[in-house]
Structure 1
Amino acid sequence: MCGRYSLSKSKIELEERFQAELVADFNPRYNIAPTQLLPVITSDSPKGFSFFYWGITPDFGQNKPVAQKLINAKAETINEKISFKGSFQKRRCLVPADGFFEWKKLGKKTKIPYRFTLRDEALFAFAGIWEEYETVSGESHHTFLILTSQRNEVVGEIHDRMPVIISRDQEKKWLDKYTSESDLLAMLKPYPGELMMSYTVSPLVNSVQNDSPGIIRKTSPMDQFGNYTLFG
């Protein structure tokens, strides 16, 4: 699964990379977590950034609190699940990021946080789908989730799944409402491992309250308690 990522670039960098306008103010984010309001680019508005909540309410489960919603969907069954099929066909989005986090488990109680990026640490986009739902108070909100696939050789050392990264030359096609289902499914594969890298980061990333540049700095391997370990 993908439960934490970063978007540490500036507003100008985001606009230049995705050729889309970011009207709202944006501060770099180093420790993004579910339920937060975050920038995405949708199939309905590909020339601008929208701000949606990370976490989606399936069609069959409206009016659930944000915290109870799903945050990921498996790419292998995205066109089969009733809860996601409509969004996959009609409401796709790009989720800008420059890294994501996973935790390596050592034994039953110890885990070490890792950050995964492209080798040049450039911006990229996760494959996402979005939905509109109504809260119990009648308010309308937009939410998104991130698609996941089997891991590549880099992520596979830490975790058995990874978020789907859409290659830059396929991003417009992912958003295009007329792209065939077979072409869409062909994009949902592990990103080439030779184009990625990983490194250990501070256990500060474990708390969503921490959101500072220190989160994404390379550190010596430490467990969730801040103890250095030789098994990174």
Structure 2
Amino acid sequence: MCERYSLATTKQDLESRFEAEMLDNFQPRYNIAPTQLLPIITSESPRGFSHFYWGVTPEFSKNKPVSQKYINAKAETVHLKASSKSAFQRRRCIIPADGYYMWKKVGKKTKIPYRITFHDKRLFSFAGIWEEFESESGKVNHTFSLLTTEADALHQDFGDRMPVILERDQEKIWLDKFKGTDQLLAVLHGPDAGSMTAYTVSQMVNQINVDAEFLLKKTGPMDQFGNYTLFG
């Protein structure tokens, strides 16, 4: 499961890396969470950034938890399940990021947050699908889900799933409206585990309302009470 990521870059770097135009203002984001309005690139408009809600809109999630099924979809079955088959065929997207957070369980109630990035800190993208729906008020909303796959050696400490990360050539395939199922599924395996690194970060990342640059920095692993642990 992937439920938090970062996009700590500039509008100019985003446009350059993804060869797409961003008409909206953009500020670096250090602690992105579900229900937020975020930049993505869709197969319908690959030359420009769109802004969709991750998982569900804030109104939909009010006073109730956001289900994992809204924010993540399994890459192995995305082309088969009734809930995602149509989106896989017609509404694919990539989600720009420069890192993401996962939690290592070290006790019954203790989880240590880690940040995962490429060794060279480069921008990359997650594979995703998106949906369009009309709210009760008649407003058209757009949401996206991030695809996950089986955890590799780097991610196994954090659970059995990891986000699907695309290389540049894979992004073009994923956004190509004319690619077939086999070609699309072939890019959903994730990068070489040796190309990425994980390090402990502040427990403040657990607070969705904290969106600050210090969250990116490596810190000593601490438990939920602020005590240093022996787990790194």
TM-superposed CA distance for 1:225, in Å, is: 2.9
Tell me what 1:191 maps to.
Answer: 191
Q: 1:192, CA displacement in angstroms?
A: 1.0
The residue number in structure 2 matching 1:172 is 172
Match of 1:204 in 2: 204
Q: Percent identity of the aligned residues?
A: 58
- What is the Cα deviation at residue 219 of structure 1? 0.6
Q: How does 1:67-86 map to 2 (within 5 A)?
A: 68=66, 70-86=70-86
1:56-112 CA deviation, whole Å, 9 max, x = no partner? Answer: 59xxxxxx9246461000011101100100000000001000111111011101110
1:97 and 2:97 matched: yes
Name 1:33's counterpart in structure 2: 33
Q: Which residue of 2 aligns with 1:55?
A: 55
Checking the alignment, whether the CA contact within 8 Å between 1:42 and 1:92 is kept in structure 2 is yes
Secondary structure in 2 aligned to 1:76? coil
Task: Flag structure 1 segments of 5+ consecutive residues without an equivalent.
Answer: 58-63
Normalised to the residue count of structure 1, the TM-score between the two structures is 0.94
SS of 1:83's equivalent in the other structure is coil
Please give the secondary structure, in 2, of the residue aligned with 1:77. Answer: coil
Partner Cα separation in structure 1 for residue 149 and residue 33 of structure 2: 19
Letter matched to residue 159 of structure 2: H
* Structure 2 residues without counterparts, runs of 5 or longer: none
Contact 2:118 2:196 (8 Å CA) reproduced: yes
Cα pair 1:36 1:54 within 8 Å, conserved: yes
Aligned residues: 226
Structure 2 residue matching 1:65: 3-state secondary structure: helix
CA distance, structure 1, for counterparts of residue 77 and residue 156 of structure 2: 20
Q: TM-score, normalised by structure 2?
A: 0.94
Q: Is the 8 A contact 1:112 1:222 kept in 2?
A: yes
Partners of 1:225 and 1:210 lie apart in 2 by 18
Alpha-carbon distance in 2 for matches of 1:170, 1:147: 14
Give the distance between the partners of 1:183 and 1:66, measured in 2 at CA.
Answer: 35
**Does structure 2 retain, via aligned residues, the 8 Å contact 1:56–1:130?**
no
CA contact (8 A) 2:112 2:223 kept: yes
1:65 partnered with 2:54: no
> How far does residue 226 in structure 1 lie from its aligned partner after superposition?
2.4
Matched residue, 1:149: 149
